[in-house]
Structure 1
Amino acid sequence: MSLLTELNTAIRTGRLEIVDLTAPLTEGTPVLQLPEPFANTIGFQLEEISRYDERGPRWYWNNIHTGEHTGTHVDAPNHWVSGKDGLDVAQIPLGQLVAPAVVLDFSAQAATNPDFLLEIADVRAWEAEHGSLPEGGWLLYRTGWDTRSTDAERFLNADEQGSHTPGVSAECARWLAEETAIAGFGVETVGTDAGRAPELDPAFPCHELLLGAGKYGLTQLQNLASVPATGALLIVSPLPIVGGSGSPARVYALVEREG
């Protein structure tokens, strides 16, 4: 039996489960809101071209209007000034878009503290239990924030002080960027940085340091609760937008189940 035939059989028999990690893309999908004077992306919109009518009697189709960084999406290195000479989203090697993934679950901490920041010690403790982060793979950071994704107000969780969503400390972001061999970092929140990231040093450390190191971001993931701490294979499928700084993406994980 060939390797691909064996893979197909494992999927068809349920030994390998495909877990969809992608948030549905609708006009209600939450998008990042930057304060003035900064420009913001548009939300997702469908514009009907025809629907089995005089504009096109036997077909239905739409124009789509959206930003590169809407919904579940990839941040390419050139998204941030620190990575401006890095790869665009169309240049990301496929071998880094199909790669092993681990899930670090800090949903309990985020449930009691929406401003929770992942620290180096937290990752080290996880490694002591589960093993090293995957070389050339993805660190996926579970906070339980996906349960808020259908309510933009709860998802963005902003008040007069700013947004309150979990993220990563500046020290941890630097360590992940400079001292680990991961290819990318994925989150359930609207962006890879915490809501209070403008207050950190450097500001927006995941963007500044990880993208500056040529690594990738992945945001607004769902269903990480269905992915084990280790052993999953992540598949990330952004549009190959030439010159693009990112793209909405379909993201899923292959997870081996006992059968």
Structure 2
Amino acid sequence: MSLLAQLTAAIGDGSIEVVDLTAPLSEDTPILKLPEPFGNTEHFSLREISRYDDRGPAWYWNDIVTGEHTGTHFDAPVHWITGRDGDDVSQVAPRRLIAPAVVLDVADRVAADPDFLLGIDDVLDWTKANGPLPEGGWLLYRTGWDARSGEQDAFLNADESGASHTPGISAECARWLAEETPILGLGVETVGTDAGGAPALDPPFPCHSFLLGAGKYGLTQLRNLDRLPARGAAVIASPLPIVGGSGSPARVLALVER
């Protein structure tokens, strides 16, 4: 039996489980809110074209309104100024959309401190217990924040001044992940790859700045990371190949041996 036949057979009999890491995309999907004078994206919405009526008696379809970075989505290098000469989302090589993944879980620490920032020592401690970060693979950062994804205010967790309090990664760790590790990219459960307090870090938004500047990728607003092992899963990330696009909503799946 060929390798592909073995794979499809294993998926069919359940010995490989397909876990959906994608949040449903609807008008209730939380979106990032930047302060003035910065521009903001729109909420996702459907605009009906026809629904079995005079506009189209036998079919139902819609136009969609959304931003590239709404819901579960893929960040391409060109999304950030440090990666401005890098790939847009249509130029990402297809083979790089299927990769091994590891899960670093700090949900217990985030429950006690929503502003928790992952440090280099935290990652090194994880590798001592679980092995090295995957060559050409994803680091999936589990914080438990997906439990909030059904409600905009809880998800952004902003205080009275408008400052968001969500977990992320320290500037030093972001630089190290970008420059010193073999990962392909970073996946998170929050609205973006950076912490809510990232505007105050040096540089601001360090995950975007360092990882995209290094030609690596981001996946955001993931869910069900608690259903993945610490290592051993494979991730399939499927953004739309938008020509000139800085990113795209994506269906993200994980394959897990059971």
Q: TM-score range by the shorter chain?
A: over 0.9
Q: Which runs of structure 2 are paired with 1:183-194 in the superposition (5 Å)? A: 183-194=184-195
TM norm structure 1? 0.98
Tell me how many residue pairs correspond in the alignment: 257
- Provide Cα deviations, 1:60-100, integer angstroms capped at 9, x if missing partner: 00000000000000010000000000000011111211000
1:197 is aligned to 2:198: yes
Distance 2:94 2:181 in 1: 20
Per the alignment, residue 71 of structure 1 pairs with 71
Aligned-partner SS, 1:41:
coil
Please name the residue that 2:211 is paired with.
210
Which residue of structure 2 aligns with residue 124 of structure 1? 124
* SS of structure 2 residue aligned to 1:163: coil
SS of match in other structure, 2:192: coil
Task: Give matches, 1:178-257, under 5 Å.
Answer: 178-257=179-258
* Aligned residue number for residue 112 of structure 1: 112
Q: Share of identical aligned residues, percent?
A: 70
Q: Does 1:57 align with 2:57?
A: yes
TM-score by length of 2: 0.99
Q: CA–CA distance in 1 between the matches of 2:174 and 2:40?
A: 25
Quick one: which amino acid aligns to residue 206 of structure 1?
Answer: C
The secondary structure found in structure 2 opposite 1:162 is coil
Counterpart amino acid of 2:51?
R
Partners of 2:77 and 2:39 in 1: CA distance? 20
Once residues 12 and 79 of structure 1 are traced to their aligned partners in structure 2, the CA distance between those partners, rounded to angstroms, is 37
Instruction: Determine whether 1:36 maps to 2:36.
Output: yes
User: Separation in 2 of the partners of 1:43 and 1:161?
Assistant: 19
CA distance in 2, matches of 1:39, 1:71: 18
* Equivalent-residue separation in structure 2 for 1:126 and 1:146 (angstroms): 21
Runs of 4+ in 1 over 3 A off after TM superposition: none
**What is the CA–CA distance in structure 2 between the aligned matches of 1:3 and 1:173, rounded to whole Å?**
36
What do the CA deviations read for 1:12-63 (whole angstroms, capped 9, x no partner)? 1110000000000000000000000000001101000000000000000000
State the shift of 1:2 in Å: 1.3
> Structure 1 stretch 213-222 or stretch 157-166: which is displaced more?
157-166
Q: Which residue of 2 aligns with 1:15?
A: 15
Distance 1:45 1:161 in 2: 25
Corresponding residue for residue 98 of structure 1: 98
- Quote the residue 1:25 is aligned against: 25
Distance in 2 between residues matched to 1:164 and 1:117, nearest whole Å? 11
Residue ranges of structure 2 left out of the alignment (5+ in a row): none
Separation in 2, partners of 1:166, 1:90: 30
User: What is the alpha-carbon distance in structure 1 between the residues aligned to residue 148 and residue 253 of structure 2?
Assistant: 20
**Matched position secondary structure for 2:253:** strand
1:156 is matched with which residue?
156
Q: Unpaired runs of 5+ in structure 1?
A: none
Q: CA deviation at 1:161?
A: 5.4
RMSD: 0.6
Letter in 1 for 2:219: L
Cα deviations across residues 183-204 of structure 1 (Å, max 9, x unaligned)?
A: 1100000000000001100110
SS at match of 1:124: helix
Give the 3-state SS of the residue equivalent to 2:177 in structure 1. helix
Deviation at 1:173, TM superposition (A): 0.1
